[in-house]
Amino acid sequence: MEQAFWKEAVVYQIYPRSFKDSNGDGIGDLQGIHSKLDYLKELGVDVIWLSPVYKSPNDDNGYDISDYYDIMDEFGTLQDWEELLAGLHNRGMKLMMDLVVNHSSDEHAWFMESRSSKDNPYRDYYIWRPGHEDGTAPNNWTSFFSGSAWQYDDTTAEYYLHLFTKKQPDLNWENPKLRQSIYDMMTFWLDKGVDGFRMDVINLISKVPGLPDDGKEGLSDGSPYYMNGPRIHEFLREMNEQVLSKYEVMTVGEAPGATVEEAIKYTGKDRHELQMVFQFEHMDVDSGAEGKWDLVPWTLPKLREVLHKWQTGLAEDGWNSLYLNNHDQPRMVSRFGNDKEYRGESAKMLATLLHTLKGTPYIFQGEELGMTNVKFISIEEYRDVEIHNMYNEKVVQGGADPGTIMQAIETKGRDNARTPMQWNTEANAGFTTGTPWISVNPNYTEINAEAAVADPESIFHYYRKLIALRKQNPVMVYGDYELIMQDHEQIYAYTRTLNQEKWLIVLNFTGEPVMLDLPDGLRTEGGRLIITNYPEDGMNAGELRPYEARVYSLK
Ligand code: ISL
Ligand code: CA
Asked if 336 and 352 count as a contact pair (C-beta separation under 8 A), the reply is no
State in Å: Cα 60 to ligand 1 middle.
Answer: 9
Task: Tell me if 200 CB under 6 Å of ligand 1.
Answer: yes
CA of 371 to the centre of ligand 2 (A): 22
Count how many domains the chain has.
3
Do residues 44 and 70 share a domain? yes
Domain assignment of residue 338, yes or no? yes
Query: Whose alpha carbon is nearest atom 19 of ligand 1?
Result: 328
The predicted structure's pLDDT at residue 512: 98
**Residue having the nearest C-alpha atom to atom 1 of ligand 1:** 328
In a domain, 217, yes or no: no
Has residue 390 been placed in a domain? Answer: yes
292 close to ligand 1 (CB < 6 Angstrom):
yes
Is there a single domain that holds both residue 363 and residue 451? yes
Same domain membership, residue 116 and residue 92: no
Which run of H or E residues covers position 378? none
Q: Report the CATH number at residue 87.
A: 3.20.20.80
Per-residue confidence (pLDDT) for residue 538, from 0 to 100 = 83
Q: Do the domain assignments include residue 468? A: no
Angle, to 10 degrees, between the axis of helix 459-472 and the axis of helix 343-356? 20
Ligand 2 center to 547 CA (angstroms): 38
For residue 311, is it within any domain?
yes
d(CA 229, CA 207): 5
Give the CB-side neighbour count of residue 549, counting CA atoms within 13 A.
23
Find out whether the beta carbon of 385 lies less than 6 Å from any atom of ligand 1: no
Please give the Cα distance from 158 to 114 (Å, whole number). Answer: 12
CB of 225 closer than 6 angstroms to any ligand 1 atom: no
Task: Give the ipTM of the model, two decimals please.
Answer: 0.97
What pLDDT does residue 539 have? 86
Distances (CA, A) of 382 to 361, 366, 416, 417: 29, 19, 9, 12
What type of residue sits at position 346?
Answer: S
Q: Nearest C-alpha to atom 5 of ligand 1 is from which residue?
A: 328
Q: 248 and 362: one domain?
A: yes
Choose one of 402, 431, 462: the last residue of a domain.
462
φ/ψ of residue 421, rounded to 5:
-55, 135
Q: Containing domain of residue 528, as a range? A: 476-554
Q: Is 386 in the pocket of ligand 1 (CB under 6 A)?
A: yes
Query: 16 with 45, same domain?
Result: yes
Q: What is the pLDDT of residue 555?
A: 86
Measure the CA–CA gap between 252 and 412, rounded to whole angstroms: 24
144 lines ligand 1 (CB under 6 A): yes
Ligand 1 in reach of 247 Cβ (< 6 A): no
Q: In angstroms, rounded to a whole number, what is the distance separating the alpha carbons of residues 386 and 383?
A: 9
Q: Closest Cα to atom 2, ligand 1: which residue? A: 328
**pLDDT of res. 551:** 98
Last residue of a domain, one of 437, 462, 487: 462
Q: Look at the alpha carbons of 101, 105, 108, 111 in this order and tell me if their dihedral is positive or negative.
A: positive
Question: Do both 116 and 69 map to the same domain?
Answer: no
CA proximity to 103, closest of 224, 226, 205, 175 = 205
* Separation between Cα atoms, residue 510 and residue 27, nearest integer Å: 38
What's the CA-to-centroid distance between 436 and ligand 2, angstroms?
9
Q: Report which protein residue has its CA nearest ligand 1's atom 8.
A: 144
Say yes or no: 263 and 142 in one domain: no
The span from the CA of 354 to the CA of 453, in Å, is 21
Clarify whether residues 115 and 98 are in a common domain.
no
Rounded to whole angstroms, the Cα distance separating 106 from 125 reads: 12
Looking at the fold, whether 516 and 367 belong to one and the same domain comes out as no
Nearest to 239 by CA among 187, 295, 306: 187
Catalytic residue among 200, 328, 345, 368: 200
Q: Is the CB of 256 under 6 A from ligand 1?
A: yes
What kind and span of H or E run contains 459? helix 459-472
User: Does ligand 1 lie within 6 Å of residue 164's CB atom?
Assistant: yes
Do residues 309 and 356 both lie within one domain?
A: yes
The answer to whether residue 266 sits within a structural domain is yes
One domain for residues 247 and 315: yes
| Burial class of 378 by CB neighbour count within 10 A (0 to 12, 13 to 18, 19+) | exposed
Query: Any idea what the CATH number is for the domain that residue 116 is in?
Result: 3.90.400.10
Query: 140 and 214 in contact (C-beta within 8 Å)?
Result: yes
CA of 249 to the centre of ligand 2 (A): 30
Give me the CATH number covering residue 515: 2.60.40.1180
Per the annotation, the verdict on 200 as an active-site residue is: yes
- Nearest alpha carbon, ligand 1 atom 11: 201
Spell out where 415-509 has E strands: 480-484, 491-498, 501-508
167 lies in a domain?
no
Q: Are residues 324 and 369 in the same domain?
A: yes
Q: How far, in Å, from the CA of 80 to the mean position of ligand 2?
A: 12
DSSP 25: S
**414 alpha carbon to ligand 1 midpoint, in Å?**
9
Measured distance CA(392)–CA(370) in Å, rounded: 31
Tens-digit pLDDT string for the chain (555 aa): 799 999 999 999 999 999 999 999 999 999 999 999 999 999 999 999 999 999 999 999 999 999 999 999 999 999 999 999 999 999 999 999 999 999 999 999 999 999 999 999 999 999 999 999 998 999 999 999 999 999 999 999 999 999 999 999 999 999 999 999 999 999 999 999 999 999 999 999 999 999 999 999 999 999 999 999 999 999 999 999 999 999 999 999 999 999 999 999 999 999 999 999 999 999 999 999 999 999 999 999 999 999 999 999 999 999 999 999 999 999 999 999 999 999 999 999 999 999 999 999 999 999 999 999 999 999 999 999 999 999 999 999 999 999 999 999 999 999 999 999 999 999 999 999 999 999 999 999 999 999 999 999 999 999 999 999 999 999 999 999 999 999 999 999 999 999 999 999 999 999 999 999 999 989 998 999 999 999 988 888 899 999 999 999 998
Q: Residue 140 contacts by C-beta under 8 Å, 6 or more apart in sequence?
A: 148, 213, 214, 216, 217, 218, 219, 220, 222
What is the C-alpha to C-alpha distance for residues 15 and 363, in angstroms, rounded to an integer? Answer: 11
Residues with CB under 5 A from ligand 2 (ion): 21, 23, 25, 27, 29
Pocket of ligand 1 contains residue 328 by CB under 6 Å: yes
Reported pTM: 0.98
Strands (E), 225-308: 250-254, 276-278, 287-288, 291-295
Please report the atom of ligand 1 found closest to the CA of residue 283: 3
Do 267 and 318 meet the contact criterion of CB atoms below 8 Å apart?
yes
Which residue's CA lies nearest to atom 20 of ligand 1? 200
Q: Is 59 in the pocket of ligand 1 (CB under 6 A)?
A: no
283 C-beta closer than 6 A to ligand 1? no
* Nearest ligand for residue 24 CA: 2
Q: Which of 60, 213, 238, 254 is catalytic?
A: 254
Centre of ligand 1 to C-alpha 328, Å, is 6
pLDDT at position 536: 86
Q: Where is the domain boundary, 462, 494, 518?
A: 462
Q: What is the distance in A from the centroid of ligand 1 to the CA of 344? A: 29
Within a domain: residue 240?
A: yes
To the nearest 10 degrees (0 to 180), the angle between helices 260-267 and 232-242 is 20
Q: Which residue owns the Cα nearest ligand 1 atom 3?
A: 328
Q: Which amino acid is at 20?
A: K
Taking CA atoms only, the protein residue closest to ligand 1 atom 10 is 256
CB 415 near ligand 1, within 6 Å: no
